[in-house]
Amino acid sequence: MDLNSFIRNIPDFPKPGVIFRDITPMLADAKAFDFAVEKMVEPFAGEKIQKVVAIEARGFIFGSVAANKLGAGFVPVRKKGKLPFKTDEETYSLEYGEASIEIHKDAFNEGERVLLLDDVLATGGTMAAVCRLVQRQKAVIAGISFLCELDFFNGKKLLPNVTVHSVLHF
């Protein structure tokens, strides 16, 4: 299946010169959506994944389905102040400032094998922050998977020493 045919290009959004890759047509097609998630988890099927970690908000769309496909638990990473229990926080740089994300302090048992997942890899800053959160809890990052990678940002440079898989490249 050609997933590219389900990605709508929106020129000049959110600002002039940017081409936004809209995944909503793919999400609206049950077969395409299922195929996309299958391709996201395929390289990690034999890795004995115990938890799938996904980033708010679009990562949640893929993360819970991926966890189900792998027979794993699901762990949400959210913006600061959105989780109800004791959390660990990580702050990271954005092109216009800083942002913070959080994860529950009891998200993992030591040594659990986890797959990190999100919709898009751009600069890599958010996922690098997630890696730091997961590593502080002594979980093992078995890999990182994205639906789309914006290659010109070279976001993989912030994710060394871990397998990074992207289904689509732009």
The residues assigned a catalytic role are 58, 95
d(CA 62, CA 96): 27
Strand-by-strand arrangement of the 140-149 sheet: 87-94, 97-104, 73-79, 51-55, 113-121, 140-149, 164-169
Find the distance separating the first CA and the last CA of the chain, reported in whole Å.
17
* Number of C-beta neighbours around residue 69 at 10 A: 17
Radius of gyration of the chain (CA): 16
Q: Which is nearest to 137 in space by CA: 165, 114, 163, 164?
A: 114
Q: Which is nearest to 165 in space by CA: 133, 137, 127, 108?
A: 127
Q: How far is CA 12 from the centre of its chain?
A: 24
Give me the phi and psi of 146, to 5 degrees please.
Answer: -130, 150
